[in-house]
Structure formats: C-alpha cells, structure tokens
C-alpha cells in the first residue's frame, strides 16, 4: 500500500463546513471596499527576491528569516510573496497606473512566510490589503481607519481596539535612530543577541521585542514623539481630529512600530485579546518613500493588510455567524425512471430560475436515503419524481423546513411559480 502524502506543515485545507465563513467574510469586505470606491488589482504569487529586499528592508524578520526563496532554472532568485504592498507598488509602476493619477486599490490572496505555525499564524495565510497612492494628507489614512471601523460592525466583531502612532518623516526617523542607538548602547548588558545584531541596522525594531528581560529597558526608552518635526506633528494631529469627529476611539501607543522598513508618519493596528498572542487583525500605515525607492516618482501612499485566517478563527470561535441554507431545492427521483428525463427537467428549472440553488441526487438510492441527503444539504424543498408523477406529468413538492406547508402535486409551470413565491427567485 502506497504511503499517503500529507500537506506541508504550516499549510491548511479549507473544507466545505468552514469555507462558507470565508466566502461570507470576503463578500462583506469586498462589498464595503467597492462602496468606498476602491478597485481590485491582482499580481503574481512569485516575484524576484530583489523586490522584497529593496522594499521591505534587508534587516527585517521577513527578509532575514521568513521568505520562501529559491532559484529558478536560469539561476534567478525568486520568492513567494510574503506580503502585498511591495508587489502592488511594482505593479502600479510597471503598468503606469499612478502617472499623474491617484489610485485606491485592494487585493486579496495567499501570502507565504516560513514561521513557526501556531493558532492564528500559518506559513500560508490569506490577506485582504488596501493601497492608496497620490494622497499626501491624513484624510487618506483616516478613511482607511473609518472603513475598517465600519467593517468590524458589518462582520459583528466586537472588542477590537485601535492603536495609532506616528513614525515621523525620514528625517525624524534618522534623528530618532541615533537617539535609540545611544540609549540602548548604555544598556547593552540587557540586550539579547538578536537585539545586538539589529542595534546599528534597525534600532526601532528593538521596541517591538517580546523578550521579557528587555521589557523594563524598552519601556524607559525615548519615544519618537519627542523627535517629530512640525510637519509630522500636524499630520498626526489631523488624523486624530478626524477620528475624534467621527467617534472612532483610539489609543496612542508610542511603542507601536511596524515590522517593515518602508513605513513613515501614521501607523496603526487593530487588535483583539480574543486570539491570544496573535491578536493583530489589521495593520498598516503610510509609506511615502516606497514608490520612489522602487524607481518611481515621489508618490505619497498609505495602506493596510488584514489577515483573513485570523478573522475566520475569531468568527468561528465566538460563533458569531450561523450557516445559512445552501440548497433551495433537492430533487428526489425513483431509480426506475429514465435519468435523462429527470436531468432535462432540472436543467429547464435552472434556466427558468437562474438564481435557484438546485441539487439533483446522483446515482441510485432509496427514497429514504435521498430524503436524508436532502435534509443534510439544508434544502428548503424537495421535488419528487416517481412513476405516478411522471405518468401524470406532475411534480410532487415537499417543504423540508416549514411543516405547515402541505405536500402537493403541481404542474411544471405551477412549480416554477411556487418556487418564485416561496424563495423570491
């Protein structure tokens, strides 16, 4: 007997009993994005590794430890995409989408990072991301937060808090970088090996360390707010003013830094305590320098990404949604009847009622077995084809959920009218 091949560690299958949650979530989110005027963009799963090195930053967890990278047959280094922003920037530049024209874009699909699998974190994970190009003011950042705030309401997700911070301009970050290096050098005896390795390349990442031995030192570290120039302060103040006016609560977290190098000015995270350590549901911020870094003209930009996997986990764990009936009609038929006649009627029904969800039982089985299948499928009605019905050119209709409706025999045209009235199809 051959050995079974199992899925890779950190990958997963989405089975039919769960996929309906994914479909409903994606429909709600993408519908909201369209209401706000965002357009979908799609790009490859594979990119040249150099794209992520230049966009994300050499000294980041993603580039140093987490990318799925290999060489193709021409010895070109390529990687499965670990996030969507770098690919979006590459795509809009390559296709000329931001030449003197702002863009509001969204994407959806799988990303890949070689991380230790745990609840809410897999090596393949799905994101919906939003990227906005050409809007320099904080109203673009605010719209992203207002939209995600509305999204939680539509999804029925509660107890999500918003944390925001400003990382300032590139000049502010450079000045703050020197301050952090000086500070942490004075506490080098407390730093772990990873922190020492990053101290002179990406000192802001030390503020995000989860090492409890460094917690006190990090809490006493200087904050970037003390080093923001007037422009950065005004930009952050405008964001806060809009959120206040729209009634969106937030916390200013001076230790909030994003894990990728391209962020500047306003950054944010939506966080829940319902998923343990992996509590960030949505995160993003402004990245005004990235387009120019990738060979384009200076272009202000902002965006976010949200993990679909974590949202699905939360919805299922909290039983926020209940499955809806997936089948309107289940066709039960006598095995003595010619299958071609029954299938022809089913196809005619699908043509006459295009929105109808109709399942026909395939193969031979007893009526009892077929009715069990209809019940399991959540069918609202069964259409019964037996010798008596076929002889009279009638169809028996049985309600599976509303027991007050009597079973009845109807002509084909009356079945169509009945289903239109009962199902609104």
pLDDT, tens digit, 9 for 90 and up, residues 217-254: 988 998 888 889 999 999 999 999 999 999 999 999 98
Q: Calculate the CA 346 to chain-centre distance.
A: 37
Residues above pLDDT 70, as percent of the chain: 97
Residues 171 and 169: their CA atoms lie apart, in Å, by 5
Burial environment of residue 223 by CB neighbours within 10 A (0 to 12, 13 to 18, 19 or more): middle
Residue 176's pLDDT is: 87
pLDDT tens, 148-169?
Answer: 999 999 999 999 999 999 998 8
3-state secondary structure of 327: coil
- Which of 16-20, 152-156, 174-178, 286-290 bottoms out in mean pLDDT, i.e. has the lowest? 174-178
Alpha helix segments (H runs only) across 186-280: 193-198, 215-219, 230-245
Quote the pLDDT of residue 283.
94
What DSSP character marks residue 4?
P
pTM for the whole thing? 0.87
39: three-class secondary structure by DSSP: strand
> Do 78 and 47 form a contact (C-beta atoms < 8 A)?
yes
317 vs 332: CA distance, rounded Å: 36
pLDDT number for residue 261: 64
Q: Which helix (H) or strand (E) holds 165?
A: strand 160-166
CATH 3.30.930.10 fits 16-169+229-318, yes or no: yes
Measure the CA angle with vertex 335, ends 333 and 340; round to 5°: 75
Confidence of residue 60 (pLDDT cuts 50, 70, 90): low
User: First and final CA of the chain: distance in angstroms?
Assistant: 50
- How many of the other CB atoms lie within 10 Å of CB of 312? 20
Confidence of residue 309 (pLDDT cuts 50, 70, 90): very high
Domain(s) of CATH 3.30.930.10: residues in the chain: 16-169+229-318
Return d(Cα 38, Cα 69) in angstroms, integer. Answer: 32
Sign of CA dihedral 25, 27, 32, 38: positive
Task: Write out the E strands in 276-347.
Answer: 280-286, 301-307, 329-333
What is the per-residue burial (b if ≥16 Cβ within 10 Å, else e) of 264-281? bbbbbbbbbebbeeebbb
Q: Kindly report the average pLDDT of the chain as a whole number.
A: 91
For residue 129, give the H/E element and its range: strand 124-133
> Which segments of the chain belong to CATH 3.40.50.800?
329-419
pLDDT at 47: 96
From the candidate CATH numbers 3.40.5.10, 1.50.10.10, 3.20.20.70, 3.40.50.800, the one assigned to the domain spanning 329-419:
3.40.50.800
Q: Which of 150, 155, 184 minimizes the C-alpha distance to 26? A: 155
CB contact at 8 A, 151 and 143: no
Tokens of 379: 């069918």
What is the secondary structure of 89-151 as a DSSP string?
Answer: HHHHHHTTTTSS--EEEEEEEEEE-----BTTB-SEEEEEEEEEES--SHHHHHHHHHHHHHH
User: What is the side-by-side strand order in the sheet with 46-48?
Assistant: 46-48, 77-80, 69-71
The better pLDDT of the pair 55, 271 is held by 271
Q: From start to end of 228-291, where are the E strands? A: 251-252, 264-272, 280-286
Compute the C-alpha angle 342/410/386, nearest 5°. 40
410 dihedral zone (left: phi>0; alpha: psi -120 to 50; beta): beta
What residues contact 227, with CB distance under 8 A and at least 6 apart? 168, 172, 175, 176, 179
């Amino acid at each position: 007997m051959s050995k079974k091949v199992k899925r890779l560690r950190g990958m997963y299958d989405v089975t039919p009993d769960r996929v309906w949650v994914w479909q409903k979530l994606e429909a709600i989110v993408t519908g909201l994005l369209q209401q706000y005027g965002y357009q979908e963009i799609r790009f490859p799963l594979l990119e040249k590794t150099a794209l992520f090195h230049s966009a994300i930053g050499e000294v980041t967890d993603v580039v140093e430890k987490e990318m799925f990278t290999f060489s193709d047959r021409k010895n070109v280094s390529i990687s499965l995409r670990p996030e969507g922003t770098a690919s979006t920037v590459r795509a809009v530049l390559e296709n000329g989408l931001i030449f003197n024209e702002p863009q509001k874009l969204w994407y959806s699909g799988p990303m890949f990072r070689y991380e230790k699998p745990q609840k809410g974190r897999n090596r393949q994970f799905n994101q919906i991301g939003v990227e906005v190009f050409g809007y320099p003011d904080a109203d673009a950042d605010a719209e992203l937060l207002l939209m995600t705030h509305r999204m939680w309401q539509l999804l029925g997700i509660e107890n999500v808090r918003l944390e925001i911070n400003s990382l300032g301009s590139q000049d502010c970050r450079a000045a703050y970088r020197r301050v952090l290096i000086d500070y942490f050098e004075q506490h080098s005896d407390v730093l772990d090996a990873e922190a020492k390795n990053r101290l002179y390349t990406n000192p802001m990442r030390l503020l995000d360390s989860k090492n409890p031995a460094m917690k006190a030192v990090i809490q006493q570290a200087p904050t970037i707010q003390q080093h923001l120039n007037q422009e950065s302060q005004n930009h952050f103040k405008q964001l806060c003013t809009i959120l206040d006016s729209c009634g969106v609560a937030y916390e200013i977290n001076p230790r909030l830094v994003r894990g990728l190098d391209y962020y500047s000015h306003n950054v944010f995270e939506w966080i829940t305590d319902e998923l343990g350590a992996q509590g960030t549901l949505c995160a993003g911020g402004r990245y005004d320098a990235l387009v120019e870094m990738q060979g384009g003209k200076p272009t202000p930009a902002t965006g976010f990404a949200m993990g679909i996997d974590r949202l699905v986990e939360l919805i299922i764990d909290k039983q926020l949604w209940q499955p809806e009936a997936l089948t309107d009609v289940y066709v039960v038929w006598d095995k003595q009847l010619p299958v071609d006649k029954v299938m022809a009627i089913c196809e005619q029904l699908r043509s006459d009622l295009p929105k109808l969800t109709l399942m026909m039982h395939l193969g031979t089985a007893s009526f009892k077995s077929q009715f069990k299948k209809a019940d399991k499928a959540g069918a609202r009605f069964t259409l019964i084809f037996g010798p008596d019905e076929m002889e009279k050119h009638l169809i028996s209709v049985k309600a599976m959920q509303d027991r007050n409706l009597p079973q009845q025999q109807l002509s084909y045209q009356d079945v169509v009218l009945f289903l239109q009235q009962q199902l609104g199809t």
